[in-house]
Amino acid sequence: MNQRVVITGMGVVAPNGVGVSEFTEALKNGRSGITFHQELKDLNFSCQIGGVPIITDELKSKYFTDLQLRGFNSSGILYGCIAGIDAWKDAGFDMDSNSELDYDTGLIFGTGTSGVEKFREAIYKLDDGDVRRLGSTVVLQTMASGVSAYLSGMLGLGNQVTTNSSACTTGTEAVLMGYDRIKSGKAKRMLVGSCSDHGPYVWGGFDAMRVMTYKHNDNPENGSRPMSASASGFVPGSGAGALVLESLESALERGATIYAEVLGGEVNSGGQRQGGTLTAPNPEAVQRCIKKALKNLEIGPEEIGVINGHLTATSKDALEIENWTKALGRKHKDFPFINSTKSLVGHCLASAGSIECVASIIQLKEQFVAPNINCEDINDGIKTLIDVSCIPKQSINCNFEVIAKASFGFGDVNACVLFKRFIA
């Protein structure tokens, strides 16, 4: 009932790389996946750039049958299924529609919204009186748990199958939920992750809130600027990340490749008190989340070698760094290396945490720290807290044992997970 939990499979669909190999190369080379989108300009968006994974029809056909793709119009579910199946196969399992039901494996795959484009399509048909033409998959493509329903059926998973939703914290929370289920002995394996749709009907609300940048429509790759003094808002993104979590006993028994160990973490809420709001974090709760993650695992702050932060390129970046310094009791040159995957892919909303968990594990496994692009001009508030050498602008090789990944979401919700290098 006190299982160690390891990662035996990974999959990712990111704006700068589809598949772990392509994504790893993009991380090492600091390659951005942010592009200009004419559709956003035509709709009078202030921010006309975003991160959208490149998925060809040929790639779709490797994961879905022609029947499944008929009338399919849900980008988030598409991304989630590709990432989830890749992680499953990477862990050494097959996708067989005739396989026996696997009661030892479950699924927690989160999302924010599901099938927005499909929902819009359905509304127009209803307004035209064409209810009979909606098709049989509208409900499945637009319900929040649609991605979990698709994946569990494709893979034949018989343990707990569910969807979580906690804004930008969703993916990191899903990892910790899966970890808890294995840790308690209720499952041998859990496929965990999250996904997010792309496009104007997901991103429009954020544009209306004026939290997205409008200054880089002519140079998209320079738009996402976490920790920069010239940051002017986040760049929207989309995609999915997926991990196969497994008890160490099960992984060793079947000779699986082990990428890293999940030490655990902490999830909490700031309750929209003490400076916390629907859109801003309660600093005390953020610090408590990080501190409790360390305390739960009996890890000292000095053991953290790298932080993959939330860091969205808004005015809250300096506050996040301040919260890390207070939670860890480490400042200036004593601070760990820190990076934001969002500089390369934008803010992928509900899929951000899972994509960034994959990025964290890749860095830990390969022993490098991915660069922060577009932050040559470090925010002055950040420079007073940590040394600029802690914010690498180029990929660097680095020996470290523990990486911390945190996500802080709308609604004042927080999650922090710690991954440790696994050496057999």
Average of pLDDT values for 148-155?
A: 95
Instruction: Tell me what pLDDT residue 61 has.
Output: 94
Report the C-alpha gap between 123 and 137 in whole angstroms.
Answer: 14
Q: What is the pLDDT of residue 123?
A: 72
Residues 276-309: tens digit of each pLDDT: 999 999 999 999 999 999 999 999 999 999 999 9
**Does the pLDDT value for residue 87 go beyond 90?**
yes
Provide the pLDDT for residue 182.
Answer: 98
What is the model's pLDDT at position 92?
Answer: 97
Pairing verdict, β 368-369 and 396-397: antiparallel
| 355 contacts 345 by C-beta, under 8 angstroms | yes
pLDDT at residue 126 in the model:
72
Domain chopping of the chain, boundaries: 5-260, 264-421
| Per-residue confidence (pLDDT) for residue 127, from 0 to 100 | 65
CATH topology for 5-260?
Peroxisomal Thiolase; Chain A, domain 1 (3.40.47)
pLDDT mean across residues, the chain: 95
Confidence of residue 49 (pLDDT cuts 50, 70, 90): very high
**Sorting pLDDT into bands at 50, 70 and 90, what band is 124?**
low
7-32 confidence digits (pLDDT tens): 999 999 999 999 999 999 999 999 99
Alpha-helix residue ranges (DSSP H) falling in 255-316? 283-297
| For residue 98, pLDDT beyond 90 | no
Which are the contacts of 252, defined by CB distance < 8 A and separation ≥ 6? Answer: none
pLDDT over 90 for what percent of the chain?
88
pTM: 0.96
Pick the CATH number of 264-421 from 3.40.50.970, 2.60.200.20, 3.40.47.10, 3.10.20.30: 3.40.47.10
Cα(107)–Cα(256) distance, integer angstroms: 19
109, pLDDT greater than 90:
yes
Which pLDDT does position 375 carry in this prediction? 96
Residue pLDDT, tens place only, 167-184: 999 999 999 999 999 999
Q: Are 5-260 and 264-421 in the same CATH fold?
A: yes
Residue 356 has pLDDT above 90, yes or no: yes
Residue 196 has pLDDT above 90, yes or no: yes
> CA nearest 147: which of 106, 193, 180, 105?
193
